[in-house]
Structures are given as structure tokens and as C-alpha cells.
Structure 1
Amino acid sequence: MFATATRNFVQEVDRGGLLIPVSSLNDTINLLTVVVKHKRFWVWQKPKYIPTDFNLNDILTGDTPIKPVVVETDFIKYNGTFGDNIQGTVDANFAKSNVSLEGKDSSKLQSSFGSLKKEEVDVQKLLRGSKDRVLDMSHGLVQQTKEKPRQVFGIVKERIVTTQPSSVIEEVQQGAQCGGALSLCGPNSTKVSLKENGSLSKDSDITMEIPIHTTIAYALIELEIKHDGHYELCLMPDTTGRFEVDGPKKGLLHVFGAPASENSNLTQELEQLKEHFQLLSALPATTRSSLLQQITKVMADRGALSSLQNVLEQMCFDKRPALGDDVTTTESQKQNVQAIIDLLEQSGQVDSRRVLSAFHLITSAMDEMTHDCLSVLGMCCSLTVLPALELLVQCVSGKGELPLSSSGLAALTEDVYEKTELLFASSNVSLKRDGNTVKTEISSLSGNRPLVLCIAVRGLASLANCD
């Protein structure tokens, strides 16, 4: 809830900029706090930032601390309200069973941060104060971070803080109807039918009081660290932190996962990921149906989605995270995440790790989507609409146009087409009808958004494929 509010704040005031939203009220973010920047598994994923309990002076040698010069300015007065009305239906038809799930969700998140203040370190004076200073390379934090090549150090150079008590209010209304029919029959048996229908509704209204002087966003300056502990501040935006390789190997070790080029070939990128989609399509039909139902539910909850892809990432590296120890995740979110993990591990595949990796691919892409884009995608998660979306993403990565008379596009009714148009626009892809043809065009400054959209749609469509 707090993480969603701060993420919305950053998207509104500094989209594409340097500000990083604070994800937990437990994080203490002060100027010069050391933050570990962790590069992620897939190249399009934004880095993960892990605040530590230390500041720069704690990991320096010598007894003379660096005393930063701090400049304080008024920032903005911020109050924001974000809402969703999500409606979706999932149907699965198999040889001997039918399953359907229909859900209607509405939510409103109101963030009243009030007047905000910006605190900045004078970087020029910090640069002079850092001259000839050396990091204590035997410090536990330095040792543990250095051992992981995808992690680097940053220090907080700027933070946005509240100047008055504020609040975050979330109102949620959820309703669902489910129905199922299962038929069992054999050559010498009597036909048996079981039908079940149910409905569930849930309302919640949660208010979170935010104390004064709470940091809601911050910016970093990264460190380029030599093997002897000397360091330099990365002053240019395109310069990233790193650790120098210790020992006989010379040069600097770049962390894994540089952002994809804007001019990268989308078709080639998707071709390299084709095996992941094929793995999902090859899962048993009942497993695919259940996974589609569960992921549609998780998509409506940004916190649950982030938790899911973090768990999958750890499992891809043979780690078994303890969901019960995650204090930032609610019991409901933990249950939804665990249900998906159980389905993946019981999928019947010999190499379940490959299936975990394939599912992590699509959840990671979803987690990189904007709030609006993810909400619209959730509305389109049906067995009829997803194949049509898959045709359109193939169009995006292919010739850029497709006849509207194509049989696979029959599900694009006027209402669905409007949602699809909004979905693609949220990913920097224009969708236009020209007579009997639909044309797609990628924005010249699209970044990774078209790739992320294509991965998410193709992954969901793999679960929707009929045998």
C-alpha cells in the first residue's frame, strides 16, 4: 500500500528521472545512507534497491567523518487519487470439464503527502571531502556486496521528505463468481456430473498514517570502487557503479544486465525467448487454466505481483525463500503467491526449474508495466481475447499491419478494441485502424515497453492456448 503510493508519486513527478520510491516504512533513508543496487535477472527489469543500516562514514577508514553540506528547498504539495475498475472472465473448456471464473474489482488509493521538502547534498563539496578517502574493504557490508557481481554501492544524495503528518487510504471492493462442471464417464460406467457455483465479495477500507519527516523517494550517486578501497563518485548519468576485480584479472567488472537498446530488434528478442512460451504451452491443460486464473488475480495486486516475481527469481537461483518471513506481504498475498508456486512445482514437467524460469519471465515483464497498462491487461485476460492480443504483438514485431478480417481477431469487439488500443498506447505502441487493416507503430522513444508488453501477452496467451 505504501509502496504503491510512493511508486505512483514518482511516476507522476519524475517519470524516467532519478528518483527511487521508498518501498517500506521500515527503511530508514538519510543523506549518505548506503544503498545496494541490485541488477535483476532480465535485462528490461529496473534494478532493485536495498537500503542498508550504514552510511558512507561507517564504511570509511580513518576517524574523520565526511560532513555533507545539505541544501533544503520546498518541493511540491502532493495529493493523489488513483482508482481502478477491473472486470474479467476466464473460461476453460476441456474434454471432460468446464471451469469459469468471473471477477469484478474496484479500488481507490488516495495519497495525501501534503507539502514536501527536498534535501540535497552539495555534490561538489562531497567530491572534495571524498578526495583520498578509502573504504574499509574488510567491512562486512563491503565484503558481502563485493562477492555478488550484480550488486554495487550507491549513497543517497537527495531525498524527498514529508513536512507534516500525512496519510494513505485504500478502499477496495472485490466480487467474484465461479462455476464449474466436471463430467466423468467411461465405456461401461454411468455418467456422473458435478456442478458447483459460488460467489465471494469483500470490502476493505485501510488508512495508514504517515509520520512527519518520512522519506518517500530518494536519488543515488553510485560508487566506482578500486580493489584497494579508493573510490570515485559516478557524476554522469550514464556512468554506473562497480567494483574493480581483485587479483590478477585486471579491469572493472561490469554488472550483469545493461538496458536493452532502443533500436534492438524486437523480433530477434522474442525469438530468443520462444522456448519459454513453448514450455508454458506444453503444460497440462488443467494446470494452464489454473495458472491463468491465479495470475489474473495477482495482476490486480501490485504488491502480490512484485512478491511473486521476487520469489520466482530466488527459486531460479536454487534458493527457497520463506514466504512467512516477509513482513511486507499480507497473508492474502502470500496465499496467492504460494498457490502459483504449488501449481508450477506440480506441473508434471521433469525440469520444474525451467518452468519456474518461464513463468518468472512473464511475471517480471508484468512487474515492469505501468499501473495503467497492467490494469488494462488484466481486463483482457480471457481465452477469447488473449489469442487476438497475441496476433497483434506478432504484428508489432513483424510487418506492422494485419487484416481485421483475420479469424483470430474476431474477439476484438468495439469495447475490447478500445481497451486494446489503450493497452498498446500505455506501452508506447500506437494501434490504428485503416479500412480493413489494423496497423501498429512503435514510438521512437519507446525504450523497453513494447518488448515488455509482447512478453507479457505472449506468456499469458501460452496459458490460454486450447489443446
Structure 2
Amino acid sequence: MSVFSKATGSFVRQMEGDWGGSLIHVSRPHDSHKLVPLAVVVKRKCYWPWQRPKYQPSDFILSDLLLGDAAFDPDVSELDFISYNETSRDDKSGNWKAKADMVKVDLGGAGSSKRKLSFGNLQAQKVNVKRLLEDCRDRELDMRHCLLQQVQKRDEVLAVLKERVLTTTPCAITETMKKQGSCIGALNLLGMLGTEISVQDNFSVDVDRDIFLEIPAQTVIAYSLLELEIEKSGNFKLCLQPETFGGFESDSWTSSRSCDTIDNQGVGNGIDLSRNQRPERAPLSALNSELQKQEQSLCLLAALPFRRCLFEMLLKSLEDRDTLSLQEQALADWCCRADVLELKPQSMNGPSRALLDLLCLVPAIQSENGSPAECSPPPQMTAVHLLVSAMEALPDETLFQLTLCSPEVLQAIDELICQLRSSCQPLPDNSVPAILLEEDGKTWKLLEQLLRSSSVTLERAKDGLRAETGSEKGDLPLVLCLTIRGLSSLCNGDN
């Protein structure tokens, strides 16, 4: 994640109680000039139910989308907000060992980061919503506008900026990162005459990085929106109440392939998981029915010919949330578009392009007449998207704990979770995979920290092992189980 995005995200989390959770952090500094009062922002459609919406500022304001020549200026009030300064420090360490018939590898790592940000005196600007309603009365949207047509085709949502928080003076963000890593490997070969040859190698890596980011005055760091409910005639309403959502009238458009349809593998976009409200504390088995709905898709990962390469690629992505987000968006665009074979966004970063290039090796499913325009992404592509979106939904601490898990440990954790969620009864101690009890309890501690970071607790009682989930963190237990199952499927094999 970029330094700027980390800083603005931290600010929004601190302000969540005061703003009722309506603030959206600005992830990129160059989006600031687009986020003016009444700026039009596109709310990207969520592909999976657990995903949080993503927002993309456009180059337009509301009046650009209205019919008629009469423009209007928003009535904006300004007030001094707060002075915000923050210093945070994070220390992490871990190690794992891998063993095969002739190879032994010990990996260890430690890292620390310190971030200091000073936004100084912040200013809040608010649009007079009552005046806005009066200005929009009897006005209609130009349904021929290019942005409206593109958003309508993708079944996304338009919103307008009603509030924003911006800096008043130049300010700075500094981040210091230190990483240390070591690898000790031993390769034992048995010669043709029975002579044992031993080759040992070890190396260490030290990385120090200091980042200084200066932010100019009048930089927007957070904002809130009013979504638009748009009728097919071009009339629109502003969604004023909390938990009300905008969008296009359902029968106002048709497309050759809707992202809401469920494909022949039982996996679809935005499908209703029919989830009931879970109690505050519930056994892991409460997730079983929800997880079973996705297992058919995730099982397809184990049949990929390049699964080990994909596993290593995704494991690297766990270290960078920005890369995960870009990969998820690229996969969402691919899975939602009919012309999937032609999708090569120039805005992708290197890891995203590499991921799609690898997945291009999986043939697309064509229609009976073989028309490229009617090709659908293969079910394996949807399965990879499911896995990446689950990874992206996890908190930073969980992502870090996953990077400390060897492939063998991941598979053991997956096996343990499958046993725990298959029954409401406690799991006997002798059913726990042996690898989780090795290393003088270090692996078990890693397991506990991994589960706890996503609201799952392990408890050892006299009658066996219990695992419970809490509802305070929503879908975190679900997406953690999906992530572990998906990664375990990929690392199962030598391909």
C-alpha cells in the first residue's frame, strides 16, 4: 500500500465514529484535483458479497451530466476541522522450515516500520444539500453522455461529492522501513557409489528504506458522497438517508452478458450467499454452508497446470495491498467483460499484467458459433478472482501472518479448518496435523495469531479443540477460510 493511502486510511479509521462511517479515504494524491464539490464519482460494482465498494473519481461534475445550458454553483460552507498528527510503529518477525527428501531450507525474517504523519490543521467543506435539491429540481440527466452510458452498461453507481476534508498548509509523511531476511539451505546428494555429497549455502538480506512525502496545501484526504438513483427517463433522485443506495432503474438497460448471472460452475457476480446473521460467538461450523457454496470453484484451482507458479505470485502479492487491489480489479474487469481476450489495460502494474498473462494460458469458453465477442472467462479464472478478492478483504495483520506460513503449514491449517467446521463437536487432540505442533509451539502460536487476526479463536479444552467466530468483524472468518483453502489448493503439487 502506498504511503499516502496508508496515511489517509489511518485518518479515516480514526474519524469513523465522528462521521458515522461515511468517509472515504483518498488513495492517490493525483485524484485530489478531481474531488471538488459535486464532483461525480463512480462506485464500482462489487463482484463478491464480502467486498467493500471501490470508488473512482471522474473528470466531471454533476452539471456536466445535466441537460440544458444552465449551470449552477454549489453552495459550500467551510469550517476549521481538527489538527491531526500520528506516529505509529510496527515490529514483525517470523520463520519457517521446509523439508523434502534431499532438501532442507530454513527461512527467517524480521521487519519494522515507523510512520509519522502530520496533516496539520484540516478544513472541512460541506455542500448545502437543501440548496442542491432546489437547483436539481426539474433537471434531467443527459442519458447520451459518455460517462452515463459506460457506467450504465457496467451496472455501476454514480455519486456526487457532498463533503471533503483537505489540508490547509503543506505537510509531510515520513516512513522508515527496515527488513532483514536469511536463508540457510542444505542439499544432500547420494552419489552412484554411495558417497554422500553435501552442499550448504546461506545468505542474508538487509533492506533499509526511508520515504519522505510532502503534501501541498488544499490536498483532499477524505470525502463523502450522495449516490444517485437514476430512472430510465433521465430523472434522478439523491439518496439522502444512510444505508440507501443508488443505481439505474433495473429495466432501463440490457447487455449481452450480465455480471449478475451465475455461470455453469455455480459461481457468479454478486450472488446472494443467503447468509443469516451469525450470533456474537459461534462455532466455526456456522460457516460451513457458506463455504460449501464456493468450494466447487476453489477446487478448480488444484487442476491448474501452473498452480505452483501462481501460488508464488500470489504469495508475493500478500506483501503489497496496492498490488492485491490492482490484481483484483483487473480480474473483475476481465470476468465482467465479454471481450475478455482483448482486455489489456495499459494502467496495470507489472504484477497485474504478469497475473493476467499467466491466466491467459487457460482457454476461454466460447459460444457454439465460436465468436470471440461471445467468449466467457473460464471457470478457473473466476476461481482465481474469488481467491484474490478474499485475500484483499483481509486485514494487514492477517496478510503478514500468511506470508510466514510455508506451503506445508498452509495445507495443514486448511486440513484443520476443514475438520473444525465439519462438526459442532470438539476436535480430538490426536486429529491435529503433526506439523502444527512442531517447532516448540511456534507454529501453533502462528496459527493462533493468524486466526485471531480475522476474528477466529482457538480454545483447547479437556474434551478437545474448539474454534469460534465473532460477528464483530463481519465476513473476516469467511474470507480467511476461503483464502487458506485457495492457497492450499495452489501449493498442492510441483507444477
The bucket for the TM-score relative to the shorter chain is 0.7 to 0.9
Partner SS for 2:144: coil
Q: 1:163-205 CA deviation, whole Å, 9 max, x = no partner?
A: 22122222222333446677999999x9999876544332211
Q: Is the 8 A contact 2:125 2:165 kept in 1?
A: yes
Query: What residue number does 1:263 align with?
Result: 277
| Distance in 2 of aligned mates of 1:68 and 1:349 | 48
Aligned-pair identity in percent equals 38
Structure 1: tracts of 5 or more residues without a match: none
| Distance in 1 of aligned mates of 2:310 and 2:445 | 26
Q: Give aligned pairs, total.
A: 454
TM score, norm. by length of structure 2: 0.78
> Which one of 315, 327, 334 corresponds to residue 308 of structure 1?
327
Query: What residue number does 2:6 align with?
Result: 4
Query: What residue number does 2:413 align with?
Result: 388
What letter corresponds to residue 228 of structure 2 in structure 1? L
Partner SS for 1:383: helix
Query: What residue number does 2:478 align with?
Result: 451
Q: 1:408-442 CA deviation, whole Å, 9 max, x = no partner?
A: 16515644444443433332333333336332222
Structure 2: tracts of 5 or more residues without a match: 261-268, 279-285, 366-375
Matched, 1:175 2:177: no
| Distance in 2 of aligned mates of 1:143 and 1:343 | 32
> Which one of 294, 314, 329 corresponds to residue 273 of structure 1?
294
Query: What residue number does 1:297 align with?
Result: 316
For residues 233-272 of structure 1, the aligned pairs below 5 Å read: 233-245=238-250, 257=270, 261=275, 263=277, 266-272=287-293
- After alignment, is 131-140 or 353-362 more displaced? 353-362
> Which one of 110, 124, 130 corresponds to residue 124 of structure 1?
130
Partner SS for 1:411: helix
| Distance in 2 of aligned mates of 1:248 and 1:320 | 24
What letter corresponds to residue 209 of structure 1 in structure 2? E
Q: 1:359-399 CA deviation, whole Å, 9 max, x = no partner?
A: 32222112112223322333345522552355236525742
- After alignment, is 87-96 or 43-52 more displaced? 87-96
What letter corresponds to residue 168 of structure 2 in structure 1? T
Query: What residue number does 2:226 align with?
Result: 221
Shift of 1:107: 2.8
- After alignment, is 36-45 or 98-107 more displaced? 98-107
For residues 42-441 of structure 1, the aligned pairs below 5 Å read: 42-89=48-95, 102-149=108-155, 151-178=156-183, 197-245=202-250, 257=270, 261=275, 263=277, 266-283=287-304, 287-316=306-335, 317=337, 318=340, 322=344, 325-326=347-348, 334=350, 336-337=351-352, 340-341=355-356, 353-384=378-409, 386-388=411-413, 390-392=415-417, 395-396=420-421, 398-399=423-424, 401-408=426-433, 411-412=436-437, 414-435=441-462, 437-441=464-468
Partner SS for 2:382: helix
| Distance in 2 of aligned mates of 1:299 and 1:393 | 23
Shift of 1:159: 1.1
Do the aligned partners of residues 358 and 87 (structure 1) sit closer, same or farther apart at CA in structure 2, a change above 3 Å counting?
farther
Do the aligned partners of residues 278 and 313 (structure 1) sit closer, same or farther apart at CA in structure 2, a change above 3 Å counting?
same
| Distance in 1 of aligned mates of 2:452 and 2:400 | 13
| Distance in 1 of aligned mates of 2:409 and 2:7 | 34
Q: Is the 8 A contact 1:90 1:293 kept in 2?
A: no
| Distance in 2 of aligned mates of 1:142 and 1:349 | 30
| Distance in 1 of aligned mates of 2:380 and 2:197 | 34
| Distance in 2 of aligned mates of 1:238 and 1:103 | 44
What letter corresponds to residue 18 of structure 1 in structure 2? S
TM score, norm. by length of structure 1: 0.82
